[in-house]
Structure 1
Amino acid sequence: MASMSERLRRRLRVTAVAVLTVTVAAAGFGAWTAADQATKVEHYGAYNTYVLAARGGLVTLTRTPDTGKPGTYWLEWTGAYSMLGDIVSQAPDRVTRRVLRGPTPSQGTPGWFGNVPPGDPKVAWGIDHTEVMVPTELGPAPAWYVPGKGSTWVVAVHGQNGRRKAELKVLPVVHGLGLPFLDISYRNDEGAPPSPDGLIHLGDSEWRDLAAAVRHAQTLGARRFILYGTSMGGQIIGQFLARSPLASLVDRVVLDAAMIDVRMTAEQAARNHHLPAFMTALAKPIIEWRTGIDTDRLSLIHHPPRIRPPLLLIHTVPDTDHPIQEPRDLITVARRLGWDARLAEFAEGQHTEAWNVDRPRYDRLINDFLTRRP
């Protein structure tokens, strides 16, 4: 008959094995979830607020972390939209904002409050456009084309799980300068062909769709290019500059809230979800196994592109998607390389909200950068 001490040791071993098994399983599940969040295709919609009252050019919305932000935003609802200005008054459960453009929704309307313009160039700004189909290696992908003067085109690239309308903030300045504007989609976008594995590749393959758009623009008369990208669109542009034979055609680049270093972005995501730092290291091989990409390569800091045109980085300091240290570190590298790069920091605003919190400064930065001599 086993002694009490032997039985105790056996129970401790069983308990230790059980704890270890649970810990490993939990870590594995967490790593898989993190990898899934980084590569999963999602298309958003529906609503995130309600109209509580509307009168005299003012609209009162249910208070959320989004509707309580200062600045200029949009409210979309079935078949309509309005541009909303700064907060006029607020309470713990509601916030009242001024209607700057568009109709005022009726009380009880469910709506989507967001930081990107609604619809297309005509809906958002009254600017005429045509929809063209870019022939990519996976099939045709839609793009909005706004005609302009000259042979230097602005090509805009949106971020992960985003939509073309996210790039329309810059259109009034571009259109005012008379530059042709091509706002592209790429694999896994709504209306565009899916990737072969149905996953996002964080710019590692999406840059090929940007290259296809540049080639298509050449057939329409473009000779030189200005690239404008937000969020993961920045990494797509970075990989285009690093890997495309067409990169030498780029005159200058604007990156707003760009994904500059995938590892730093993943570490920020872990912090956002209160996950331990080691979870990033566990998720990395899962991402690489599922997609076949080398995530270490997706760092413009450690692997600067071979073609380095003048670069304007715009970033909000509080950004909790792509931390401000990403563009700061890239600027340090750029100085060492003699790369003409500058960083404009905005003290307020979350991810891709520099325009929303200070449109006059944002527009002035874009205008000055696009018109200055290299």
Structure 2
Amino acid sequence: MSSEKEGVRHTADVPSITPGPSRATLRTSDGVRIEAVHSPCETRGTVRTAQGVHTASVPDTAVVVAHGFTGSVDRPAVRRAARAFARRAGVVTFSFRGHGGSGGRSTVGDREVLDLAAAVRWARELGYARVATVGFSMGGSVVLRHAALAKDDPGARTDAVVAVSAPARWYYRGTPAMRRVHWMITRPAGRLVGRYGLRTRIHDRDWDPVPMSPVEAVPLIAPVPLLIVHGDSDPYFPVDHPRSLAAAGPAELWLERGMGHAENAADDALLARIADWLSVP
């Protein structure tokens, strides 16, 4: 697995903001086809939040959702997150390479920054002036690295970042859940389970070079606003991961009592709070 300069070229079958959900095929700078869905904002004009009713230019904002490892654009938890965010903004969801209907093979957080860059660029070309990224687990590591690496690219940069259940560092094996993940990634039998059991096609080569870690990316994100969200009952990454991320640079940290891992554990109330946070310029 290897990194290269992040950038995007893509093809899409939707030229502008449309009244209903629309599917598109994006193409990354390294030529991988990525399936994506655009869901326009459901709310126009006035918005009801936990703080009351106010007027907001919600059609100007898009949230790009980056799912976790073995997820995809059509997984129920991803669609639920998309519906929650669509009450406040337009939403772009997509499947990372090697996942769902996208092409290529997963590099488990390395070249996935190119997939996210393609999705962000598409959101801007759809007409959104402000684009925020929300990533879960592996997607959380990707939104952090993308925010650091694409900050000088006007088309692919993000205006706000939320990393939910993200790892701080690579190669973590300190929990049984992560030891199972590493077995699936590194063993031929595990990759077969990923392909046929979880619709996730995993690259069989090691990273070369090892990409920038999430905790190394965090100091490079400012002045873009950054929110770190993590559950204190996460079975994959204990709370030293979010604390390390928040300590690495300007960031707000939410440690959620009783929450498990990633999009499957993010309930509607938490998603609404994240949407509220993202709505603040």
The TM-score, its normalising length taken from structure 2, stands at: 0.68
Superposed CA RMSD: 2.9
- Superposed CA deviations along residues 197-240 of structure 1, whole A, max 9, x for unmatched, are xxx32221110111122222232213321001101001111221
| 2:140 paired with 1:234 | yes
Residue 307 (str. 1) matches residue 211 (str. 2)? no
Q: Are 1:189 and 2:103 counterparts?
A: no
Q: Distance in 1 between matches of 2:62 and 2:25?
A: 17
Match of 1:267 among 174, 186, 204: 174
Contact 1:173 1:366 in 2 (8 A): no
Point out where structure 1 has 5 or more consecutive residues left out of the alignment. Answer: 1-126, 276-287
Distance 1:253 1:163 in 2: 20
Unpaired runs of 5+ residues, structure 2, are 1-18, 42-57, 183-202
Q: Which has the larger radius of gyration?
A: 1
SS at match of 1:250: coil
Give the corresponding residue for 1:369. Answer: 277
The question of whether the paired residues in 1 share the 8 Å contact of 2:147 and 2:161 is answered with no
Aligned 8 A contact 1:234 1:260 in 2: no
- Decide which structure has greater strand share: 1
Asked if residue 146 in structure 1 is aligned to residue 39 in structure 2, the reply is yes
Match of 1:156 in 2: 65
Higher helix fraction: Structure 1 or Structure 2? 1
Letter of the aligned partner of 2:214 in structure 1? L
**Is the contact made by 2:25 and 2:36 (CA closer than 8 Å) also made in structure 1?**
yes
Does 2:251 correspond to 1:345? no
| 1:192–1:289 CA distance, 2 compared to 1 (3 A) | closer
Partner of 1:5: none
Could you tell me how far 1:182 is from its partner in structure 2? 0.3
Question: Any idea what SS the aligned residue of 2:253 has?
Answer: strand
SS in 2 for 1:190: coil
Cα distance in 1, alignment partners of residues 137 and 277 from structure 2 = 19
Give the share of equivalent positions with the same residue, in percent.
26
By how many angstroms is 1:243 displaced? 1.9
SS in 2 for 1:348: coil
Checking the alignment, whether the CA contact within 8 Å between 1:238 and 1:305 is kept in structure 2 is no
Residues 209 and 349 from structure 1, CA distance in 2 versus in 1: closer, same or farther, beyond 3 angstroms?
same
Paired residue total: 220
Distance verdict in 2 for CA 1:269–1:238, change over 3 Å: farther
- Contact preservation (8 Å) 2:109, 2:141: yes
Please give the secondary structure, in 2, of the residue aligned with 1:329.
Answer: helix
Task: Give CA deviations for 1:181-210 in whole Å, capped at 9, x if unaligned.
Answer: 000122111211113xxxx32221110111
Q: Which one scores higher on RCO, CA 8 angstroms, separation ≥ 6? A: 2
Q: What does residue 86 of structure 2 align with?
A: 175
Q: Distance in 2 between matches of 1:271 and 1:157?
A: 20
The one-letter code of the counterpart of 2:127 is G
- Structure 2 vs 1, CA of residues 272 and 191 (structure 1 numbering), >3 Å: closer, same or farther? closer
- The one-letter amino acid paired with 1:145 is H
SS in 1 for 2:24: strand
